[in-house]
Amino acid sequence: MKKTVVNWLLSAALLYAIAWILPGFSISSFTAALVAALVLGLVNSLIKPIISAITLPITLLTLGLFSIVINALMLSLTSALVTGFNIYGFSTAIVASIVLSLLNLFFMDN
């Protein structure tokens, strides 16, 4: 339970940090970052596996690079669902998904 809460807070902090550095990616408050991290976690666990299964042939064809597009779609969906969390443009979502993946690689304890 403690690890889940720490990962949630860290995810919110990473989203907030990305909003600080990346133009076109904005979060109005840390509360919005907490909600966005929660919704992104739910979207990634409920919707992403379905989308990944449907797009498996194109993901294999692109040697896995299409997964970046899937991550950007999940971020865009989260942006549409959460008030105070905005991504302006799909290219910003792609860059944000790459940065978020790299930051998760360094900071998350999996």
CB 96 within 8 A of CB 18: yes
Return the pLDDT at 110: 55
Return the pLDDT at 4: 86
CB 78 within 8 A of CB 43: yes
Which residue ranges make up each domain of the chain?
2-107
Return the pLDDT at 1: 84
Return the pLDDT at 3: 85
Which residues of the chain, if any, have pLDDT below 50? none
Compute the C-alpha angle 81/16/104, nearest 5°: 95
CB 28 within 8 A of CB 84: yes
| Distances 6 to 2, 9, 19, 52 between C-alpha atoms, Å | 6, 5, 20, 27
Mean pLDDT, the chain, rounded, equals 93
